[in-house]
Amino acid sequence: MAREKQAEITIMELLSPVSRLFVSPGFYGAIVFTLGFKTRCNSSAIVEGIKNTWIKLPRFSSKVVMDDKKNGEAVWVPVNVRVEDHVFVPDIDHFDITNPDQFIEDYTSNIANTTMDMSRPLWEFHVLNIKTSNAESLGIGKFHHSLGDGMSLMSLLYASSRKISDPNALPTTATTRKQVGSNDNRWLVARFWLMIRVIFTTFIELFKSLLTLCFMRDTKTPLMGKPGDRNGPRKIIHRIKVNDVLLGITQAGEDPVTEKKKSLEETRLRGTIAVNLRPETKIKAVEAITKRVFSHTTLTFSNVLGPNEDISFFEHPMCYVGASALIGPQALIIHYVSYADKIIINLAVDTTVIPDPHLLCDNLVESLEIIKLSLLEKGLHKMEV
Protein backbone atom coordinates (compact mmCIF):
# COMPACT_ATOMS: atom_id res chain seq x y z
CA MET A 1 0.00 0.00 0.00
CA ALA A 2 2.84 2.39 0.88
CA ARG A 3 4.51 1.72 -2.48
CA GLU A 4 1.26 2.43 -4.33
CA LYS A 5 0.89 5.75 -2.52
CA GLN A 6 4.50 6.65 -3.29
CA ALA A 7 3.99 5.80 -6.98
CA GLU A 8 0.86 7.96 -7.06
CA ILE A 9 2.76 10.89 -5.52
CA THR A 10 5.49 10.53 -8.13
CA ILE A 11 3.06 10.31 -11.01
CA MET A 12 0.88 13.19 -9.85
CA GLU A 13 3.64 15.75 -9.21
CA LEU A 14 2.22 19.26 -9.50
CA LEU A 15 3.83 21.80 -11.78
CA SER A 16 5.50 24.78 -10.14
CA PRO A 17 3.60 28.11 -10.27
CA VAL A 18 5.79 29.38 -13.10
CA SER A 19 5.44 26.15 -15.10
CA ARG A 20 1.66 26.24 -14.62
CA LEU A 21 1.66 29.78 -15.95
CA PHE A 22 3.34 28.71 -19.19
CA VAL A 23 0.87 25.86 -19.81
CA SER A 24 -2.18 28.00 -19.01
CA PRO A 25 -4.56 28.84 -21.90
CA GLY A 26 -3.53 31.93 -23.81
CA PHE A 27 -0.01 32.09 -22.36
CA TYR A 28 2.35 29.96 -24.41
CA GLY A 29 6.09 30.11 -23.84
CA ALA A 30 8.97 28.29 -25.52
CA ILE A 31 12.74 28.56 -25.79
CA VAL A 32 14.37 28.00 -29.18
CA PHE A 33 18.15 27.58 -29.23
CA THR A 34 20.80 27.01 -31.86
CA LEU A 35 24.12 25.24 -31.34
CA GLY A 36 26.76 25.81 -33.98
CA PHE A 37 29.27 22.98 -34.44
CA LYS A 38 32.77 23.04 -35.92
CA THR A 39 32.35 19.58 -37.49
CA ARG A 40 29.62 17.57 -39.18
CA CYS A 41 27.04 16.33 -36.75
CA ASN A 42 26.66 12.66 -35.80
CA SER A 43 22.98 12.20 -34.98
CA SER A 44 23.60 8.81 -33.34
CA ALA A 45 26.03 10.39 -30.87
CA ILE A 46 23.44 13.10 -30.10
CA VAL A 47 20.73 10.50 -29.45
CA GLU A 48 23.00 8.44 -27.23
CA GLY A 49 24.10 11.52 -25.30
CA ILE A 50 20.50 12.59 -24.66
CA LYS A 51 19.65 9.09 -23.45
CA ASN A 52 22.44 9.33 -20.89
CA THR A 53 21.59 12.84 -19.65
CA TRP A 54 18.35 14.61 -20.53
CA ILE A 55 16.06 11.61 -20.15
CA LYS A 56 17.27 11.11 -16.60
CA LEU A 57 15.66 14.43 -15.71
CA PRO A 58 12.00 13.95 -14.67
CA ARG A 59 10.62 16.85 -16.73
CA PHE A 60 12.24 15.58 -19.93
CA SER A 61 10.61 12.18 -19.51
CA SER A 62 7.16 13.41 -18.44
CA LYS A 63 4.16 14.99 -20.10
CA VAL A 64 1.74 17.60 -18.76
CA VAL A 65 -1.78 16.45 -17.89
CA MET A 66 -4.70 18.36 -16.41
CA ASP A 67 -5.75 16.13 -13.51
CA ASP A 68 -9.47 16.09 -12.67
CA LYS A 69 -8.69 14.59 -9.25
CA LYS A 70 -6.72 17.75 -8.40
CA ASN A 71 -9.33 20.29 -9.52
CA GLY A 72 -8.02 20.29 -13.05
CA GLU A 73 -4.52 21.40 -12.07
CA ALA A 74 -1.55 20.60 -14.29
CA VAL A 75 0.68 17.72 -13.20
CA TRP A 76 3.79 15.96 -14.53
CA VAL A 77 3.10 12.36 -15.55
CA PRO A 78 6.14 10.14 -16.30
CA VAL A 79 6.03 8.34 -19.65
CA ASN A 80 8.29 6.02 -21.61
CA VAL A 81 10.34 8.19 -23.95
CA ARG A 82 11.82 7.06 -27.24
CA VAL A 83 14.53 9.62 -27.83
CA GLU A 84 14.55 8.98 -31.57
CA ASP A 85 10.99 10.38 -31.72
CA HIS A 86 12.24 13.71 -30.37
CA VAL A 87 15.45 14.02 -32.41
CA PHE A 88 14.80 15.00 -36.03
CA VAL A 89 17.28 14.63 -38.86
CA PRO A 90 15.60 16.16 -41.93
CA ASP A 91 16.50 14.80 -45.35
CA ILE A 92 17.63 17.97 -47.08
CA ASP A 93 18.82 18.32 -50.66
CA HIS A 94 21.83 20.62 -50.25
CA PHE A 95 21.92 21.38 -53.96
CA ASP A 96 18.56 23.15 -53.71
CA ILE A 97 19.79 25.45 -50.94
CA THR A 98 21.30 28.56 -52.51
CA ASN A 99 21.50 30.52 -49.24
CA PRO A 100 22.20 28.25 -46.23
CA ASP A 101 22.00 31.12 -43.72
CA GLN A 102 18.54 32.13 -44.95
CA PHE A 103 17.45 28.50 -44.95
CA ILE A 104 18.46 28.11 -41.29
CA GLU A 105 16.61 31.32 -40.37
CA ASP A 106 13.44 30.05 -42.05
CA TYR A 107 13.83 26.59 -40.51
CA THR A 108 14.35 28.01 -37.01
CA SER A 109 11.43 30.41 -37.37
CA ASN A 110 9.18 27.58 -38.49
CA ILE A 111 10.13 25.57 -35.39
CA ALA A 112 9.47 28.60 -33.18
CA ASN A 113 6.02 29.23 -34.65
CA THR A 114 4.86 25.60 -34.50
CA THR A 115 2.79 24.77 -31.42
CA MET A 116 4.19 21.91 -29.36
CA ASP A 117 2.31 18.65 -28.91
CA MET A 118 1.17 18.65 -25.26
CA SER A 119 0.48 14.90 -25.33
CA ARG A 120 4.19 14.08 -25.12
CA PRO A 121 7.33 15.40 -23.37
CA LEU A 122 7.76 19.05 -24.33
CA TRP A 123 11.11 19.12 -26.08
CA GLU A 124 12.64 18.39 -29.48
CA PHE A 125 16.06 18.60 -31.13
CA HIS A 126 16.86 18.97 -34.84
CA VAL A 127 20.18 17.96 -36.42
CA LEU A 128 21.10 19.76 -39.64
CA ASN A 129 24.31 18.92 -41.48
CA ILE A 130 24.30 22.17 -43.40
CA LYS A 131 27.35 24.40 -43.63
CA THR A 132 26.60 28.04 -42.93
CA SER A 133 28.80 31.13 -42.69
CA ASN A 134 29.27 30.44 -38.96
CA ALA A 135 29.24 26.65 -38.54
CA GLU A 136 29.82 23.33 -40.29
CA SER A 137 26.56 21.91 -38.88
CA LEU A 138 23.86 22.88 -36.42
CA GLY A 139 21.65 21.57 -33.68
CA ILE A 140 18.36 23.40 -33.20
CA GLY A 141 16.33 22.66 -30.10
CA LYS A 142 12.99 23.72 -28.71
CA PHE A 143 11.95 23.45 -25.07
CA HIS A 144 8.61 24.38 -23.63
CA HIS A 145 9.23 27.10 -21.04
CA SER A 146 7.60 24.96 -18.35
CA LEU A 147 10.76 22.79 -18.40
CA GLY A 148 12.84 25.64 -17.01
CA ASP A 149 14.19 29.13 -17.58
CA GLY A 150 17.25 30.26 -19.50
CA MET A 151 19.66 29.72 -16.63
CA SER A 152 18.47 26.20 -15.84
CA LEU A 153 18.66 25.23 -19.50
CA MET A 154 22.14 26.72 -19.72
CA SER A 155 23.03 24.44 -16.80
CA LEU A 156 21.72 21.55 -18.89
CA LEU A 157 24.09 22.57 -21.68
CA TYR A 158 26.98 22.49 -19.22
CA ALA A 159 25.95 19.00 -18.06
CA SER A 160 25.82 17.83 -21.70
CA SER A 161 29.26 19.21 -22.57
CA ARG A 162 32.95 18.77 -21.89
CA LYS A 163 35.96 21.06 -22.15
CA ILE A 164 37.81 21.06 -25.44
CA SER A 165 41.04 21.43 -23.49
CA ASP A 166 40.15 18.47 -21.23
CA PRO A 167 37.57 16.09 -22.78
CA ASN A 168 36.96 14.37 -19.44
CA ALA A 169 36.16 17.56 -17.53
CA LEU A 170 32.89 19.47 -17.27
CA PRO A 171 32.99 23.11 -18.40
CA THR A 172 33.80 25.69 -15.75
CA THR A 173 31.33 28.45 -15.08
CA ALA A 174 32.28 32.10 -14.95
CA THR A 175 33.96 32.83 -11.63
CA THR A 176 34.61 36.00 -9.74
CA ARG A 177 38.08 37.26 -10.49
CA LYS A 178 40.08 39.29 -8.03
CA GLN A 179 42.56 41.85 -9.24
CA VAL A 180 46.08 40.58 -8.70
CA GLY A 181 48.02 42.64 -6.20
CA SER A 182 45.01 44.62 -4.99
CA ASN A 183 44.50 45.49 -1.34
CA ASP A 184 42.18 42.95 0.34
CA ASN A 185 40.47 45.53 2.54
CA ARG A 186 39.83 47.88 -0.36
CA TRP A 187 38.47 44.99 -2.40
CA LEU A 188 36.06 44.01 0.40
CA VAL A 189 34.88 47.60 0.81
CA ALA A 190 34.34 47.88 -2.94
CA ARG A 191 32.36 44.64 -2.95
CA PHE A 192 30.24 45.79 -0.01
CA TRP A 193 29.55 49.17 -1.62
CA LEU A 194 28.61 47.44 -4.89
CA MET A 195 26.19 45.19 -3.00
CA ILE A 196 24.55 48.24 -1.35
CA ARG A 197 24.20 49.90 -4.75
CA VAL A 198 22.66 46.78 -6.26
CA ILE A 199 20.17 46.44 -3.39
CA PHE A 200 19.26 50.13 -3.55
CA THR A 201 18.86 50.08 -7.33
CA THR A 202 16.79 46.89 -7.13
CA PHE A 203 14.34 48.47 -4.67
CA ILE A 204 14.08 51.64 -6.75
CA GLU A 205 13.45 49.69 -9.96
CA LEU A 206 10.93 47.43 -8.21
CA PHE A 207 9.08 50.48 -6.90
CA LYS A 208 9.09 52.07 -10.36
CA SER A 209 7.87 48.82 -11.89
CA LEU A 210 4.96 48.74 -9.44
CA LEU A 211 4.10 52.35 -10.29
CA THR A 212 4.27 51.50 -13.98
CA LEU A 213 2.07 48.47 -13.46
CA CYS A 214 -0.56 50.36 -11.47
CA PHE A 215 -0.56 53.91 -12.80
CA MET A 216 1.94 54.83 -15.49
CA ARG A 217 2.07 53.82 -19.14
CA ASP A 218 4.78 53.74 -21.75
CA THR A 219 4.26 55.76 -24.88
CA LYS A 220 2.23 53.63 -27.27
CA THR A 221 4.40 52.16 -30.01
CA PRO A 222 3.94 49.35 -32.55
CA LEU A 223 6.32 47.24 -30.45
CA MET A 224 4.11 47.20 -27.39
CA GLY A 225 1.78 44.30 -26.75
CA LYS A 226 -1.91 44.88 -26.21
CA PRO A 227 -4.08 43.34 -23.47
CA GLY A 228 -5.46 40.04 -24.70
CA ASP A 229 -2.95 39.70 -27.55
CA ARG A 230 -1.66 36.23 -28.30
CA ASN A 231 1.84 35.44 -29.44
CA GLY A 232 2.00 36.00 -33.18
CA PRO A 233 4.37 34.48 -35.76
CA ARG A 234 7.94 35.63 -35.28
CA LYS A 235 11.12 35.68 -37.31
CA ILE A 236 14.10 34.26 -35.42
CA ILE A 237 17.58 35.54 -36.31
CA HIS A 238 20.92 35.88 -34.58
CA ARG A 239 24.14 37.75 -35.13
CA ILE A 240 27.52 36.55 -33.87
CA LYS A 241 30.00 39.20 -32.85
CA VAL A 242 33.51 38.53 -31.59
CA ASN A 243 34.18 40.38 -28.36
CA ASP A 244 36.73 42.66 -29.97
CA VAL A 245 33.87 45.14 -29.98
CA LEU A 246 34.43 45.28 -26.22
CA LEU A 247 38.11 44.40 -26.27
CA GLY A 248 39.08 47.13 -23.83
CA ILE A 249 36.67 45.67 -21.27
CA THR A 250 37.68 42.09 -21.91
CA GLN A 251 41.34 42.93 -21.36
CA ALA A 252 40.42 44.47 -18.01
CA GLY A 253 38.98 41.14 -16.87
CA GLU A 254 35.22 41.75 -16.60
CA ASP A 255 32.83 39.77 -18.73
CA PRO A 256 31.54 42.16 -21.43
CA VAL A 257 27.93 40.97 -21.21
CA THR A 258 27.90 41.57 -17.46
CA GLU A 259 29.47 45.00 -17.91
CA LYS A 260 26.99 45.89 -20.62
CA LYS A 261 24.12 44.83 -18.38
CA LYS A 262 25.35 47.14 -15.62
CA SER A 263 25.39 50.06 -18.01
CA LEU A 264 21.87 49.27 -19.16
CA GLU A 265 20.61 48.98 -15.60
CA GLU A 266 22.00 52.40 -14.75
CA THR A 267 19.86 53.99 -17.47
CA ARG A 268 16.74 52.90 -15.54
CA LEU A 269 14.49 52.61 -18.56
CA ARG A 270 10.94 52.70 -17.24
CA GLY A 271 8.73 49.91 -18.48
CA THR A 272 10.96 48.83 -21.34
CA ILE A 273 12.70 45.83 -19.81
CA ALA A 274 10.62 42.86 -18.67
CA VAL A 275 11.90 41.20 -15.51
CA ASN A 276 11.91 37.51 -14.65
CA LEU A 277 9.09 36.86 -12.20
CA ARG A 278 9.53 34.32 -9.44
CA PRO A 279 5.99 34.19 -8.04
CA GLU A 280 4.96 32.30 -4.94
CA THR A 281 1.28 33.17 -5.19
CA LYS A 282 -1.55 31.25 -6.76
CA ILE A 283 -1.38 30.72 -10.49
CA LYS A 284 -4.41 32.86 -11.34
CA ALA A 285 -2.89 35.89 -9.62
CA VAL A 286 0.48 35.23 -11.25
CA GLU A 287 -1.08 34.94 -14.69
CA ALA A 288 -3.10 38.13 -14.30
CA ILE A 289 -0.12 40.15 -13.06
CA THR A 290 2.26 38.76 -15.66
CA LYS A 291 -0.09 39.38 -18.56
CA ARG A 292 -0.58 42.94 -17.35
CA VAL A 293 3.19 43.43 -17.13
CA PHE A 294 3.64 42.21 -20.70
CA SER A 295 0.74 44.34 -21.94
CA HIS A 296 2.50 47.46 -20.60
CA THR A 297 6.00 46.46 -21.70
CA THR A 298 7.53 47.86 -24.86
CA LEU A 299 10.03 45.06 -25.42
CA THR A 300 11.55 42.08 -23.65
CA PHE A 301 15.32 42.09 -23.09
CA SER A 302 17.56 39.61 -21.30
CA ASN A 303 21.12 38.34 -21.32
CA VAL A 304 22.50 34.94 -20.34
CA LEU A 305 26.11 34.25 -19.45
CA GLY A 306 27.18 31.21 -21.44
CA PRO A 307 30.38 29.11 -21.40
CA ASN A 308 33.55 31.20 -21.11
CA GLU A 309 35.64 28.59 -22.93
CA ASP A 310 35.30 26.33 -25.96
CA ILE A 311 33.27 23.21 -25.20
CA SER A 312 31.98 20.14 -27.01
CA PHE A 313 28.34 19.04 -26.98
CA PHE A 314 28.15 15.25 -26.94
CA GLU A 315 31.60 15.10 -28.58
CA HIS A 316 30.78 17.86 -31.10
CA PRO A 317 33.07 20.91 -30.77
CA MET A 318 30.92 24.03 -30.59
CA CYS A 319 31.53 27.46 -32.11
CA TYR A 320 28.52 29.36 -30.72
CA VAL A 321 25.19 29.08 -28.92
CA GLY A 322 22.15 31.27 -29.50
CA ALA A 323 18.74 31.27 -27.84
CA SER A 324 15.42 33.10 -27.85
CA ALA A 325 12.61 32.82 -25.30
CA LEU A 326 9.26 33.42 -26.94
CA ILE A 327 7.00 34.96 -24.32
CA GLY A 328 4.44 37.73 -24.51
CA PRO A 329 2.87 39.62 -27.41
CA GLN A 330 5.68 42.15 -27.97
CA ALA A 331 6.89 42.64 -31.52
CA LEU A 332 10.52 42.61 -30.39
CA ILE A 333 12.33 40.23 -28.04
CA ILE A 334 16.11 40.61 -27.59
CA HIS A 335 18.44 38.10 -25.96
CA TYR A 336 22.19 38.32 -25.58
CA VAL A 337 24.12 35.09 -25.01
CA SER A 338 27.87 34.90 -24.54
CA TYR A 339 30.07 32.01 -25.67
CA ALA A 340 33.86 32.01 -25.16
CA ASP A 341 35.06 35.10 -27.05
CA LYS A 342 31.75 35.82 -28.76
CA ILE A 343 28.49 37.65 -28.09
CA ILE A 344 25.43 36.27 -29.88
CA ILE A 345 22.61 38.75 -30.43
CA ASN A 346 19.28 36.95 -30.77
CA LEU A 347 16.13 38.59 -32.07
CA ALA A 348 12.55 37.34 -32.23
CA VAL A 349 10.56 39.89 -34.22
CA ASP A 350 7.19 40.40 -35.80
CA THR A 351 8.18 41.25 -39.37
CA THR A 352 4.95 43.16 -39.96
CA VAL A 353 6.30 45.68 -37.44
CA ILE A 354 10.05 45.25 -38.05
CA PRO A 355 10.45 44.26 -41.72
CA ASP A 356 14.27 44.31 -41.66
CA PRO A 357 15.54 42.68 -38.44
CA HIS A 358 19.06 42.44 -39.89
CA LEU A 359 19.28 46.22 -39.97
CA LEU A 360 18.25 46.21 -36.32
CA CYS A 361 21.10 43.76 -35.61
CA ASP A 362 23.51 46.21 -37.26
CA ASN A 363 22.23 48.94 -34.96
CA LEU A 364 22.64 46.74 -31.88
CA VAL A 365 26.24 45.96 -32.82
CA GLU A 366 26.84 49.67 -33.19
CA SER A 367 25.27 50.24 -29.76
CA LEU A 368 27.76 47.81 -28.21
CA GLU A 369 30.57 49.95 -29.60
CA ILE A 370 28.97 53.05 -28.08
CA ILE A 371 28.62 51.32 -24.72
CA LYS A 372 32.25 50.25 -24.88
CA LEU A 373 33.44 53.79 -25.55
CA SER A 374 31.25 55.13 -22.75
CA LEU A 375 32.60 52.60 -20.25
CA LEU A 376 36.17 53.32 -21.26
CA GLU A 377 35.64 57.06 -20.86
CA LYS A 378 34.16 56.58 -17.37
CA GLY A 379 36.86 54.14 -16.37
CA LEU A 380 34.28 51.50 -15.44
CA HIS A 381 36.25 48.84 -17.30
CA LYS A 382 38.81 48.95 -14.47
CA MET A 383 36.23 47.74 -11.92
CA GLU A 384 36.68 44.21 -10.60
CA VAL A 385 33.54 42.35 -9.51
Q: Hey, which residues are catalytic here?
A: 145
User: For residue 148, what are the contacts with CB-CB under 8 A and spacing of at least 6?
Assistant: 59, 156
Residue 129, phi then psi, degrees to nearest 5:
-85, 70
Neighbour-count burial for 92-114, b at 16+ CB within 10 Å, e otherwise: eeeeeeeebeebbbebbbebbbe
Give the chain's length.
385
Establish how many alpha carbons lie within 13 A of residue 324's alpha carbon, considering only the half-sphere containing its beta carbon.
Answer: 26
Which residue in 281, 29, 47, 45 sits closest to 149, CA to CA?
29
CA distance 348 to 345: 10
CB atoms within 10 A of CB 195: 10
- Looking at residue 294, what DSSP letter applies? H
Are 39 and 317 within 8 A, CB to CB? yes
CA distance 268 to 246: 22
